[in-house]
């Protein structure tokens, strides 16, 4: 759906983005990952023409974006700015209503859409009258997301959307983010410098360094088949947790023993990663999770899950 070809951006001779190419499929979530200054924000801004490229091309739905008026292009693209970028002198409702007003929606339609979004994003009606600085960081982030989603654009660009949040708020919002129906229908490019976040949220990860792409692939590909030493080093410190995040329950399904559903326990979706399952189980080590896949139900506990995971890892072919 999105195709970036040989894209570069130079600022006074500095190669902020240096000849990068990648594609994003419809409804995919691609994460641009890398340390500060590697060119992530510049890449994202070129996608909605906040920055014009020095060279290269970008097509969205087979249309070269340089052939479109920036205003028209941006109607199809929601943008969540770094540090949420809310207007401080606009209320929450006014911030969210900016795009619908540009599109000349009538006030009733705007009201209905805002009410729908604040419910989905767990904001309250009373907060609509408040100003951004009267909200917590997490709430501001939700408003930023609501503003980007309000006109239901097919493409969403997000620049460090959870960057300014404390760890607990961040994990909570990440979980909600993954479960939000509106987002499953979108093609998303998200920027982060946080490796864990990239592994948690990305279908594929594009690891960048000094304006170039070092490797692009699924979390498991980067982890188990790194293109070079840079990739391996980048992931080294947090390797164990990343391994848990890059493997899903579905991957280890065949290795899990079948069981009948006896005691009550929580159900776990088949596409959950091992890390998420372990977190649920760690609250009560004697509890079980139930997973149903292709008309079969299996039950797992904490010890069994870790054992099965290691069994799976030992069978994985190493390059």
Ligand X SMILES: Nc1ncnc2c1ncn2[C@@H]1O[C@H](COP(=O)(O)OP(=O)(O)O)[C@@H](O)[C@H]1O
82 conformational bin, left if phi > 0, alpha if psi -120 to 50, beta if neither: beta
Nearer to ligand X, 4 or 97 (CB): 4
| Nearest residue to 196 via CA among 278, 306, 275 | 275
Tokens of 76: 């199809």
Q: How far is the CB of 40 from ligand X (least distance, A)?
A: 3
φ, ψ at 295 (rounded to 5°): 65, 15
Give the helix ranges, DSSP H, for the chain.
Answer: 40-47, 70-75, 92-102, 107-120, 137-149, 167-179, 181-184, 195-201, 219-224, 229-236, 239-246, 249-252, 274-282, 302-315
Q: From the list ligand X, Mg ion, none, which binds 38 (C-beta under 5 to 8 Å, kind-based)?
A: ligand X
Q: From the list ligand X, Mg ion, none, which binds 16 (C-beta under 5 to 8 Å, kind-based)?
A: ligand X
Per-residue contact flags (x/-) with ligand X for residues 157 to 186, judged by CB under 6 A: ------------------------------
- Chain mean position to CA 264: 32
Nearer to ligand X, 37 or 301 (CB): 37
Q: How far is the CB of 82 from ligand X (least distance, A)?
A: 8
**Which one-letter DSSP state was computed for residue 141?**
H
- Under a CB-based contact definition with an 8 Å cutoff, are residues 263 and 297 in contact? no
Q: Using CB atoms, what's the residue nearest to Mg ion?
A: 41
Tokens of 247: 């493997």
Q: Among 11, 87, 230, 310, which residue sits at the site for ligand X (rule: CB under 6 A)? A: 11
* Residue count, binding to ligand X (CB under 6 A): 11
Nearer to ligand X, 52 or 303 (CB): 52
Residue 89: partners with Cβ closer than 8 Å, 6 or more residues away: 131
Q: How far is the CB of 36 from Mg ion (least distance, A)?
A: 7
Q: From the list Mg ion, ligand X, none, which binds 37 (C-beta under 5 to 8 Å, kind-based)?
A: ligand X
21 membership: H or E segment, kind and range: strand 14-24
SS3 label, residue 291 = strand
Q: From the list Mg ion, ligand X, none, which binds 229 (C-beta under 5 to 8 Å, kind-based)?
A: none
Query: Which of positions 37-96 make contact with ligand X (CB under 6 A)?
Result: 37-42
Tokens of 49: 């023409």
Nearer to ligand X, 42 or 141 (CB): 42
Query: Which of positions 28-57 make contact with Mg ion (CB under 5 A)?
Result: 41
Nearer to ligand X, 52 or 267 (CB): 52
Nearer to ligand X, 41 or 141 (CB): 41
Would you tell me which residues interact with ligand X (CB under 6 A)? 11, 14, 16, 34, 36-42
Would you tell me which residues interact with Mg ion (CB under 5 A)? 41
């Amino acid at each position: 759906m999105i195709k970036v070809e040989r894209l570069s951006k130079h600022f006074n001779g500095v190669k902020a983005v240096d000849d990068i190419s990648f594609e994003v499929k419809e409804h995919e979530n691609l994460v641009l990952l890398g340390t500060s200054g590697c060119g992530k924000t510049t890449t994202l801004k070129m996608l909605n023409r906040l920055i014009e490229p020095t060279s290269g091309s970008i097509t969205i739905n087979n249309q070269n974006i340089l052939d479109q008026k920036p205003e028209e292009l941006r109607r199809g693209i929601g943008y969540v700015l770094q540090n949420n970028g809310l207007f401080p002198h606009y209320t929450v409702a006014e911030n969210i209503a900016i795009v619908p007003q540009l599109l000349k929606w009538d006030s009733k339609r705007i009201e209905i859409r805002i009410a729908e979004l604040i419910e989905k994003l767990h904001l309250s009606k009373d907060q609509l009258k408040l100003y951004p600085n009267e909200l917590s960081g997490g709430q501001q982030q939700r408003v930023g997301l609501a503003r980007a989603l309000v006109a239901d654009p097919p493409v969403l660009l997000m620049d460090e959307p959870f960057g300014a949040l404390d760890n607990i708020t961040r994990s909570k919002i990440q979980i909600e983010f993954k479960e939000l129906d509106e987002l499953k229908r979108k093609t998303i490019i998200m920027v982060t410098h946080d490796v864990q976040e990239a592994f948690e949220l990305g279908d594929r990860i594009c690891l960048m360094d000094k304006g170039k792409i070092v490797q692009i692939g699924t979390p498991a590909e980067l982890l188990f088949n790194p293109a070079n030493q840079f990739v391996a080093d980048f992931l080294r410190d947090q390797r164990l947790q990343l391994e848990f995040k890059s493997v899903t329950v579905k991957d280890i399904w065949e290795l899990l023993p079948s069981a009948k559903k006896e005691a009550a326990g929580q159900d776990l979706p088949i596409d959950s990663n091992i890390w998420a399952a372990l977190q649920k189980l760690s609250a009560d080590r004697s509890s079980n999770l139930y997973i149903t896949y292709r008309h079969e139900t299996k039950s797992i506990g904490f010890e069994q899950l870790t054992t099965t995971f290691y069994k799976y890892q030992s069978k994985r072919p190493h390059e």
